Amino acid sequence: MADQRLINAFNDCIDRLANGETIAECLRRYPEYALDLRPMLEAGLLMRRAQSDSNEVLAAKARVRANIMDTLALTPMRRPTPPILRILPLVASLLIVFVFAIVGGSALLSRLNQAEPTPTTEFLSTHTVTPTLTATPTGTPTVTPTSTTTPTASSTPSSTPSPSSTPTETTIALPSTNTPRPSSTPVPTLTHTALPTNAITGCTVPIPAGWVIHRIQAGDTLSSLAVRGSTTVNEIMRVNCLTDARLLVIGQQVYVPPLVPPTQSTGGGTAPQVGGVSGNDNIDASGGGGSSGSSGGGNDNTGSDNGNDNADDHGGSGGGGGSGDDDNDDDD
């Protein structure tokens, strides 16, 4: 077994030679090993001297470069495939999406143009046949289309009353789904727009579940609203980003919990306003139902249904829309 210090000294001298020291200089650092180190380092340096001269290397460099070019010119045949293969799925999926966008768009257009769904949607699924849906609802078909375009909500359940339910699930081709449904119930779609955060004031405080828009009337105060809504003035102020309780203006819209009807004004007072602002109307209906009684029993039902719809959307469950999309996928 060689002396470990000799092994280390040898290693150190190799590094020093690489950095330009001479053998003699390194031997002076290790005089005790000089006799052993000298022939070892001489032998090692033979390796350096044995290297090819620069002429040979230069000539070899030129030949090897030509050789590499030849080789690479022959090999690329196996290269090009991978990138294409890599891109293919992406292209295919884009194509599919594109086709669906076009088809979905045309379906939507056709629906907007015609009161009834008709054959355009049938390519999507077999279920779609149901144009009969228009018969059941109260006969309000044409009224709605304007409102339908705005909301993203695809929630189906709203139309559930009676047979009309089947069409809604299946016909859902993305946005087109909204169009048929509203025909049964004129009011509902507007409710969707109101809910997400405070669109009225631009206030970003999240609106508690169940809170509805209330239009301030003569005699309303924050404290009275708080009492009727079983909440606190501060909470109402916080949700609506109100800074001063005295700055309420008649006609102003604020979010409040479902309100107990005020003792003095009753339904008669609220009804007219409801008619004026449809959004208000719906939300009131969904909240308690009591104040919007003027719009009639049928309307009450639809109103409350829509209230459920909205709740779904906010909760993120989106049962109707989600299931509708799934159906489409399956059909594909």
Partner 1 sequence: MRIYESYFSPIYQYIRLRVGDAALAEDIASDVFVKMVIAFKSHTAPRQSLRGWLFKVARNEINVHYGKVKQFPTTTLEEWFPSSDEDAEARYLRSLSSERTRQAISMLAAEQQEVLVLRFGQALDIQATADIMGKSVSAIKSLQFRAVNTLRGILGEGLDHG
Residues that bind partner 1 (CB under 8 A): 2, 6-8, 10-11, 14-15, 17-18, 38-40, 42-52, 56-57, 60-61, 63-65, 67-68, 71-72, 75, 79, 82
CA distance 237 to 234: 5
CA distance 182 to 137: 10
Smallest distance from the beta carbon of 94 to partner 1, in angstroms? 24
Task: Assess contact for 282 and 306: CB atoms under 8 A.
Answer: yes
Smallest distance from the beta carbon of 325 to partner 1, in angstroms? 37
Smallest distance from the beta carbon of 9 to partner 1, in angstroms? 10
Nearer to partner 1, 52 or 149 (CB): 52
Smallest distance from the beta carbon of 100 to partner 1, in angstroms? 34
Nearer to partner 1, 9 or 212 (CB): 9
Single-letter residue type at 314: H
Nearer to partner 1, 1 or 247 (CB): 1
| Residue 204 CA: distances (Å) to CA of 121, 200, 238, 244 | 39, 10, 10, 17
Smallest distance from the beta carbon of 200 to partner 1, in angstroms? 53
Which residue shows structure tokens 């909301």?
151
Task: Assess contact for 331 and 173: CB atoms under 8 A.
Answer: no
Nearer to partner 1, 10 or 211 (CB): 10
Smallest distance from the beta carbon of 75 to partner 1, in angstroms? 7
Smallest distance from the beta carbon of 93 to partner 1, in angstroms? 23
| Residue 159 CA: distances (Å) to CA of 67, 180, 239 | 75, 9, 31
Nearer to partner 1, 38 or 127 (CB): 38
Query: Using a CB cutoff of 8 Å and minimum separation of 24, what contacts does 125-129 make?
Result: 125/170, 125/327, 125/328, 125/331, 126/331, 127/166, 127/167, 127/169, 127/170, 127/171, 127/327, 128/167, 128/170, 128/171
Smallest distance from the beta carbon of 68 to partner 1, in angstroms? 5
Crossing angle for the helix pair 278-287 and 297-315, nearest 10 degrees? 80
Nearer to partner 1, 35 or 90 (CB): 35
Nearer to partner 1, 45 or 91 (CB): 45
Tokens of 17: 């030679």
Number of residues assigned to the chain? 332
Nearer to partner 1, 54 or 204 (CB): 54
Phi and psi of 212, rounded to 5°?
A: -130, 165
Nearer to partner 1, 19 or 263 (CB): 19
Provide CB contacts within 8 A for 241, sequence distance 6+: 198, 201, 203, 204, 205
Tokens of 201: 């004031």
Counting Cβ atoms within 10 Å, is residue 222 exposed (0-12), middle (13-18) or buried (19+)? buried
Smallest distance from the beta carbon of 11 to partner 1, in angstroms? 5
